[in-house]
Amino acid sequence: MSFFAVLFALVLEQARPLARSNWIHSGFLAWARWAHRSLDAGKQHHGWITWLFAVMAPTLATLLVHWLLWQVNVLLSFAWSVAVLYLTLGFRQFSHFFTDIRDALDDGNEESARALLAEWRHIDASELPRSEIVRHVIEYSVLAAHRHVFGVLGWFAVLAALGCGPAGAVFYRMSEFVARYWSHPGKVPGEGASPALQATANNAWGVIDFVPSRITSLGFAVVGSFEDAIDAWRSYNQRFTAGAPLASASRNDGLILAATSGAVNVRLGGEALKSVWTPALAQDYEVGALPGADPADAPGSSPSREAEAGHLRSVVGLVWRSVVLWMVLLALLTLARLLG
């Protein structure tokens, strides 16, 4: 059933993608804001209480609905899984920016590409050269594909096999969402999440994404250049992770970018990691990226080819081949359950 639920959700998402400002995103946003305003008192234990309430309440509600519908009719529980996956899984939640930037670069309109990148990631892209635009787009797109597709698939598949329906998809997406949302400063001083809550959410997210990030990296290696991807993965571990905890958001994302770099032979500089690296690692990155320094020696970069527009198509192919790999594995697992 897991295979068919994912297949239906992906087809539905491609046919009728959610709007950028959709009601489910607004609901997540309001829920995360209400949780930290109501429960975050600045202490570490308050941070864990707030995180558990914000993440586990929607997860348990999803699980409860699944069990109730299962008791009524199996098809109803299947429809529930498809609906939840449609809201939590899919490329079209971020791919329009990727497509628009790629088309702008193909047309030679770099100004439009910079404007789209700035709108997407809320960064100053006005001075970025063409190769840096491509590099940024690849990094952000690969991480978005992991968080919107592969990580969701991993947690959904595991908990669905344990009889929890689509609860894993909600658990993963809520964990990622609150860690990202609470890390942003409030518009009014003192309005944002406390440092204790931010640390709790980021630490929890690092643990939750530990296995999925490595599975995604391994999938990229399998469907890409395997030896180069594994070599980049090993090199990243040796050079860049000494100052990061074993299960940290920066380390998880870094492994995905390293595997991507090797799989498609493109130099990635870890720009997407700068917002989540520790201060020490961020300082190292900036030192390595000073004007006149060799980009290949920067702590966040990989020694491959400079990013070109053609690499965007290579990344698209890499991601879709990974999707096919996932669907084959899910089909095999579903078949094994049916025969067992």
Q: What is the mean pLDDT of residues 318-331?
A: 93
Burial 196-210 (b: 16+ CB within 10 A, else e): bbbebbbbbbbebbb
Q: What is the mean pLDDT of residues 142-148?
A: 94
CA-to-CA distance for 290 and 58, rounded, in angstroms? 45
Reported as a pLDDT band with limits 50, 70 and 90, residue 299 is very low
Phi-psi region of 129 (alpha: psi -120 to 50; beta: other; left: phi over 0): beta
CB distance 252 to 213 below 8 Å:
yes
Reported as a pLDDT band with limits 50, 70 and 90, residue 239 is low
| pLDDT number for residue 186 | 59
**Selection from 1, 11, 19 nearest residue 80 by Cα:** 1
| pLDDT number for residue 201 | 95
DSSP letters for 75-124: HHHHHHHHHHHHHH--STTTHHHHHHHHHHHHTT-HHHHHHHHHHHH-S-
Q: What is the mean pLDDT of residues 309-337?
A: 90
Q: Tell me: the pLDDT tens digits for 263-289? A: 999 888 655 555 443 333 333 333 223
pLDDT for residue 302 is more than 60 = no
| pLDDT number for residue 308 | 84
Q: What is the DSSP letter of 171?
A: H
Looking at per-residue pLDDT, the higher value among 239 and 36 belongs to: 36
Q: What is the mean pLDDT of residues 210-225?
A: 95
DSSP SS3 for 302? coil
Q: Tell me: the pLDDT tens digits for 21-71? A: 778 888 888 999 999 899 998 899 999 999 999 999 999 999 999 999 999
- Evaluated on CA atoms 66, 210, 326, 23, the torsion sign reads positive
Tokens in use for 195? 């440092």
Q: Tell me: the pLDDT tens digits for 98-112? A: 889 999 998 889 999
pLDDT for residue 295 is more than 50 = no
CB distance 56 to 201 below 8 Å:
no
Reported as a pLDDT band with limits 50, 70 and 90, residue 173 is very high
CA-to-CA distance for 269 and 69, rounded, in angstroms? 47
